Copies of this chain bind each other. A is one copy, B any other.
Amino acid sequence: MQIGELAKRTGCESETIRYYEREGLLPAPARSSSGYRRYEQPHLEQLAFILHCRSLGMPLADIRLLAGFHQQPAAEPCDRVNALIDQQISRVHSQIEALQKLEIQLQQLRARCESPHTLADCGILKTLDDAATGEACACHDAS
């Protein structure tokens, strides 16, 4: 199949497929006489594997590693696979925690200007300005 067909079947844009090939995540397929890429079933599965990992937020470098484990002897221990997933879980977890703090801070800032005001007495701008001149700010104080 051509690249457009592979793109349609996987929901991944042709340009992204070519990008994955450049990055060494997908093997370079055979070419037609006119230079068009010709994909087979294994390519589709490999791409689906990549896309599934991406949907779990994994970085391409980790996916490259995961894909590499297929080429290794099957008797090897799989602890490095587990470690990659654990890393990803902790990355995601700390992102969540950071964003939750952020949301609280933003809501405290937002509460400074509930009803419509003018710029002159907008509690939000005032709070941001105060923080800039070194005063305590509503958003970061209580965090």
Contacts of A52 in B (CB 8 A): 128, 131-132, 137, 140
Task: Indicate the size class of the contact surface on chain A.
Answer: 35 or more
Q: How far is the CB of A15 from chain B (nearest CB, A)?
A: 21
Contacts of A110 in B (CB 8 A): 82, 85-86, 89
Asked if A19 is an interface residue, CB under 8 A from chain B, the answer is no
Q: How far is the CB of A127 from chain B (nearest CB, A)?
A: 9
CB<8 Å pairs between A and B, sample of 30: A45-B132, A46-B132, A49-B128, A49-B129, A52-B132, A56-B102, A56-B105, A56-B139, A57-B99, A57-B102, A66-B125, A66-B128, A69-B119, A74-B118, A74-B119, A74-B120, A75-B118, A77-B116, A77-B119, A78-B117, A78-B125, A79-B116, A81-B113, A81-B122, A82-B124, A92-B99, A95-B99, A96-B96, A96-B100, A96-B103
